[in-house]
Structure 1
């Protein structure tokens, strides 16, 4: 668990630690700390402070909404280098004992100070699971799989998906925030069906705005069940406001599965470029 990617931090300089985190989002009010609510960041902060007493700058790659899961979430925090040297070796074991069973830290690694879990990221990848099996979701997967009552056409879903890739203003699919952009670059949207009749949508982009994946999936499912034409989801990209006729599917089918980063030496350049982009477009 205790790994050093770039050597120990110089004396007096805090160590920056990357955590790879998995969680079942069912009983969480999302990632971000909220007073009076159970959140992933809240549970993680409490556990880390029990180990190190002081941690600062907990930053996440993607702030998942309430009910959304993760198998490949990434975050970072800073801790005094001496405390990391003394206590980092047993961090995995200690956190396993301190965290609730629906949150796990899969890996902890010291990274260069230039690494930023949010701004250094090249892309985020989500998967959405839905089943059109007549019996519904398998009881063991009911918490991460949406049961759909109508049969879905895999070919139609992929035709609809093809029109949504590229850089666009996805305002029709997003919950707009003041002073924030809805322009995103989607590099992949595809569907596959596994042997258990689970249809899995993979959606990858440089970043996502709130409810974007769930709205995209909702629009494509309307095509997959035959209620809309294949070009309808792409046609919504021409709109200048949120599309009220786009269904937002349930959060529990969505999982953040991976976050991509550049090579070690490119962390700072990527972070700087992302900050400029966000300043211009957010």
Structure 2
């Protein structure tokens, strides 16, 4: 039997998603608990190998277990043992299901403090990224095709917090965080829309590429599939949604206060 888990985690507590010797990772924490309850998962795969510091509310993992072990793959059974990771839902999936290759799109959210930001300008900037573009100027290239399709990009105010949400079919390394840097700079009046358009046309110097925004503000919010229905633990979903928002809002405010403090010093 092959199962998929929709998981959330606080990435600031891990050295990334992928297991690493002697380091605490999301994958390592999940495997530890699965083995603790008596499971030996086969062909363990994840939808996204998020970087160190990046969190998730809707990453997905899949693996195969014996048919008679279904009662062990339950959110409350696993959540009772997990630390800084939560199982939000479970789905039985086909044997050939791969959480990354079957994904129709991924949704990311980035949390910023809105102090001094022109949200209207940020929305105009975010809109430039929608559609199919060469994102060489907005990614750390690793040999993959830099052409990607962004389905949706929005900027929403939530009190003192501004949430940048980006949905795309697939992403390059650091792509979302570099887009967020561009959106934020537009909101600060330090980057013009024409500059962003030029970079999307390939008119940029490699040495002057925008840096990625810090990973701690980024959340993989959802991985979307067709024909995969998760049996959701509604209590855990609401609990984690509230905890993550409060955690990231507080972190964003602390970062803004620290930046203001540095400006006064220097």
Question: What's the TM-score bracket when you normalise by the shorter of the two chains?
Answer: 0.7 to 0.9
1:171 to 133, 136, 146: 136
User: What 5-or-longer segments of structure 2 have no aligned partner?
Assistant: 230-266
Partner of 1:82: 68
How many residue pairs align between the two structures? 228
Please report how far the alpha carbon of residue 92 of structure 1 lies from its aligned counterpart in structure 2 after TM superposition: 2.3
Question: What whole-Å deviation, never above 9, does each CA across 1:131-186 have from its counterpart, x for those lacking one?
Answer: 133xxxxxxxxxxxxxxxxx1111111111111111112111111113x2222110
Counterparts of 1:158 and 1:164 in 2: how far apart (Å)?
A: 11
2:102 to 111, 114, 120: 120
Runs of 4+ in 1 over 2 A off after TM superposition: 91-94, 238-245
| 1:247 aligned onto 2:232 | no
User: What 5-or-longer segments of structure 1 have no aligned partner?
Assistant: 1-14, 134-150, 266-282
Counterparts of 2:72 and 2:191 in 1: how far apart (Å)?
A: 56
More helix by proportion, 1 or 2? Answer: 2
Partner of 1:192: 156
Partner of 1:19: 5
TM-score with structure 1 setting the length: 0.76
| 1:131 aligned onto 2:94 | no
SS for the counterpart of 2:180 is helix
Q: 1:224/1:21 Cα in 2 relative to 1: closer, same or farther (>3 Å)?
A: same
Counterparts of 1:241 and 1:117 in 2: how far apart (Å)?
A: 36
**Partners of 1:32 and 1:41 within 8 A in 2:** yes
| 1:93 aligned onto 2:56 | no
TM-score with structure 2 setting the length: 0.80
SS for the counterpart of 2:32 is helix
Q: 1:41/1:264 Cα in 2 relative to 1: closer, same or farther (>3 Å)?
A: closer
SS for the counterpart of 1:130 is strand
Partner of 2:30: 44
Partner of 1:161: 126
SS for the counterpart of 2:62 is strand
Q: CA RMSD in A?
A: 1.9
SS for the counterpart of 1:22 is strand
Counterparts of 1:224 and 1:46 in 2: how far apart (Å)?
A: 43
Counterparts of 2:207 and 2:173 in 1: how far apart (Å)?
A: 14
1:220 to 183, 186, 204: 183
